[in-house]
Structure 1
Amino acid sequence: MKPVRVALGAFLVLIGVVWFLQGIDVLGGSVMSGVTLWAVLGPVVAVVGVLVALSGFRGRRRNGHHRA
């Protein structure tokens, strides 16, 4: 496991969710609130975060064997 990738992925998911909620105007009080761009970019960033986090959980293979 690569904890840095997992942490970075979790951070990206959190940022993506916040951006999405601001974009759909659920979280107000920001210049990003109610702006469609953030409603679109938020889920994209969240999905990238999930992929980064999952890559941190994958073990590296050497000679066909997983590292412990």
Structure 2
Amino acid sequence: MSRPVALVVGGVLVLVGLLWTGQGLGWIGGSPMTGVTLWAVVGPVVVVAGLLLALRGGRGRTPRA
């Protein structure tokens, strides 16, 4: 996966994970997911995965000597 794609996909995963966390905790209403504990658990996992992917994509490759 190219670096810009990894950054974009990682950023989207972070935003989706934050949305799912907010819905699971009942902070964001208007969805069948609101107040469902599963999404309060899955959301942070997706946020961490997105951060790791974005960090991996944002780091430049170091030349090997």
Q: Normalising by structure 1, what TM-score? A: 0.87
User: Which of structures 1 and 2 has the bigger CA Rg?
Assistant: 1
- 1:45 maps to 46
Show CA shifts across 1:6-50 (max 9, x none).
000000000000000000011111110000000000000000000
Residue aligning to 2:26: 25
Q: Calculate the aligned-residue CA RMSD, in Å.
A: 1.4
Q: Does 1:58 align with 2:59?
A: yes
Percentage of pairs with the same residue = 53
How far, CA to CA, are the matches of 2:37 and 2:27 in structure 1?
12
How high is the TM-score relative to the length of structure 2?
Answer: 0.90
More strand by share: 1
Runs (4 or more) in structure 1 with deviation over 4 Å come to: none
2:64 and 2:54 map into 1 onto residues whose CA distance is 24
* 1:14 matched to 2:15: yes
Structure 1 or 2: larger helix share?
A: 2
Query: What are structure 1's unaligned runs of at least 5 residues?
Result: none
In 1, Cα distance between the equivalents of 2:51 and 2:8? Answer: 10
